[in-house]
């Protein structure tokens, strides 16, 4: 009998397409839920994402139930540099006799090498500018340290870039760079099967976070994750895959239904943030607490607060680009002010 994993996850891959199998590995918290790992069999035995280092024993058992060991894998391919997607890579690669090679996008190299989005000092500086109290910043960064136990640093053997082609098992695949959730997020398009493996770029049950993209020697992130995310959405919509297999949750057969939901949510969130800006006197931290009050409770509070602050700031970036608001730094805090155009929020799309 196969031993059940925590959260009721069984250590067995399920076939979702000829030669392609899915395993859901447990992840703390209700959202985004268990992380999907995909196994492609054929010329190149490939694992797409790995789960965290804490669930590597479940992954190992699932492979053994499939007649495979870590040493039998040819490739690990990573959709993006979050711990729940690459965290077990080093343990797989270090298995005795392993010939496996790791591939990821260069945009997420710092994450995969360190387990962090940015150096700690950058994160502290950002949170301070957003108006997050120092005590909360410290508790949040302590959680990041704990999260690092979910992964070991690892160095990719080769880098994936937009338009690259490779074999996943026997499936011909094209790499689609889809930044937004992270700067190095990639999706994998199988044109012959009309399938897309989207990582966390497209999820059916929640709207993925477009997270801040830190840059060196800049007090504030300048790249606009929201703009990049929706440009990436248009890119995959143009492919019109018949089915999308995500990093969390079940498959999606109507990509346009999901992306339409994203756009409605995006516009609604922008309107709410703009209304808060018009009230005046709020920091990004204050707006995040007002907008995501239902999320900010329980043991995950510091992490959820960081996600909320990040979400609001990326919307502030988008609203400033559109001319609805303007920002400046004063007294060590980012000030957000409405522009005359903000009186006409119906122009938001």
Shared-domain flag, residues 110 and 211: yes
* 40 part of a folded domain: yes
* 262 part of a folded domain: no
Expressed as residue numbers, the domain containing 87 is: 6-115+154-253
Sign of CA dihedral 339, 329, 231, 209: negative
- Model confidence, pTM: 0.90
pLDDT at residue 8, as a whole number: 39
pLDDT at residue 33, as a whole number: 87
> Of 227, 253, 279, which residue sits at a domain end?
253
Regions of the chain with pLDDT less than 70: 1-9, 144-146, 148, 217-219, 294-301, 342-349
* 314 part of a folded domain: yes
> Of 193, 223, 253, which residue sits at a domain end?
253
Domain CATH for 315: 1.10.10
Shared-domain flag, residues 24 and 121: no
**Rounded CA separation 320/79 (Å):** 30
Shared-domain flag, residues 192 and 77: yes
pLDDT at residue 81, as a whole number: 93
Q: Locate tokens 């790995």: which residue?
A: 50
> Over the stretch 15-47, which tens digit does the pLDDT of each residue have?
999 999 999 999 887 778 899 999 999 989 999
pLDDT at residue 301, as a whole number: 66
Shared-domain flag, residues 189 and 304: no
* 80 part of a folded domain: yes
Please choose, from the candidates 148, 193, 151, the residue with its C-alpha nearest in 3D space to the C-alpha of residue 53. 151
Shared-domain flag, residues 107 and 38: yes
Classify 205 in phi/psi space as left (phi over 0), alpha (psi -120 to 50) or beta.
alpha
Give the chain's end-to-end CA distance (angstroms, integer): 54
pLDDT at residue 23, as a whole number: 97
Say how many domains are in the chain. Answer: 2
Q: What is the CA 190 to chain-centroid distance, rounded?
A: 21
Calculate the alpha carbon distances from 27 to 80, 123, 250 in Å: 16, 24, 15
pLDDT at residue 345, as a whole number: 59
Q: Is 176 helix (H, G, I), strand (E, B) or coil?
A: strand
Element (H, E) at 38: strand 35-40
* 233 part of a folded domain: yes
**Rounded CA separation 102/160 (Å):** 10
> Of 192, 218, 253, which residue sits at a domain end?
253
Q: DSSP H helical segments within 173-300, as ranges?
A: 225-237, 255-279, 284-291
User: 318: cis peptide before it, omega within 30°?
Assistant: no
Shared-domain flag, residues 162 and 305: no
**Rounded CA separation 18/87 (Å):** 27
* 259 part of a folded domain: no
* 129 part of a folded domain: yes
pLDDT at residue 69, as a whole number: 95
> Over the stretch 159-216, which tens digit does the pLDDT of each residue have?
999 999 999 999 999 999 999 999 999 999 999 999 999 999 999 988 877 888 887 7
Shared-domain flag, residues 73 and 174: yes
Shared-domain flag, residues 101 and 179: yes
Domain CATH for 224: 3.60.15.10
């Amino acid at each position: 009998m196969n031993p059940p994993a925590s959260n009721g996850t069984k250590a067995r891959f399920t076939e979702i397409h000829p030669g392609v199998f899915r395993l859901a590995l447990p992840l703390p918290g209700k959202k985004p839920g268990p992380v999907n790992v995909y196994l492609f069999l054929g010329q190149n035995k490939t694992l797409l994402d790995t789960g965290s280092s804490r669930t590597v024993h479940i992954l190992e058992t699932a492979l053994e139930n499939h007649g495979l060991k870590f040493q039998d894998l040819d490739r690990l391919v990573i959709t993006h540099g979050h711990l729940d997607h690459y965290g077990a890579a080093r343990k797989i690669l270090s298995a005795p006799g392993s010939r496996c090679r790791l591939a990821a996008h260069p945009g997420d190299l710092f994450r995969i090498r360190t387990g962090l989005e940015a150096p700690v000092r950058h994160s502290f500086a950002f949170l301070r500018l957003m108006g997050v109290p120092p005590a909360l910043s410290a508790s949040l960064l302590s959680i990041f340290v704990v999260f690092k136990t979910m992964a070991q640093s690892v160095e990719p053997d080769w880098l994936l870039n937009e338009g690259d082609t490779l074999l996943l098992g026997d499936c011909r695949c094209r790499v689609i760079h889809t930044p937004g959730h992270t700067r190095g997020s990639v999706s994998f398009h199988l044109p012959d099967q009309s399938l897309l493996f989207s990582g966390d770029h497209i999820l059916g049950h929640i709207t993925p976070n477009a997270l801040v993209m830190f840059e060196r020697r800049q007090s504030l992130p300048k790249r606009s994750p929201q703009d990049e995310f929706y440009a990436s959405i248009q890119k995959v919509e143009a492919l019109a895959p018949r089915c999308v297999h995500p990093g969390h949750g079940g498959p999606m057969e109507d990509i346009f239904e999901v992306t339409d939901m994203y756009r409605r949510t995006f516009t609604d969130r922008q309107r709410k943030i703009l209304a808060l800006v018009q009230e005046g006197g709020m920091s990004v931290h204050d707006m995040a607490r007002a907008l995501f009050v239902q999320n900010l409770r329980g043991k995950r509070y510091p992490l959820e607060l960081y996600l909320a602050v990040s979400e609001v700031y990326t919307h502030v970036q988008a609203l400033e680009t559109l001319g609805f608001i303007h920002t400046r730094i004063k007294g060590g805090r980012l000030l957000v002010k409405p522009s005359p155009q903000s009186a006409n929020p119906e122009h938001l799309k």
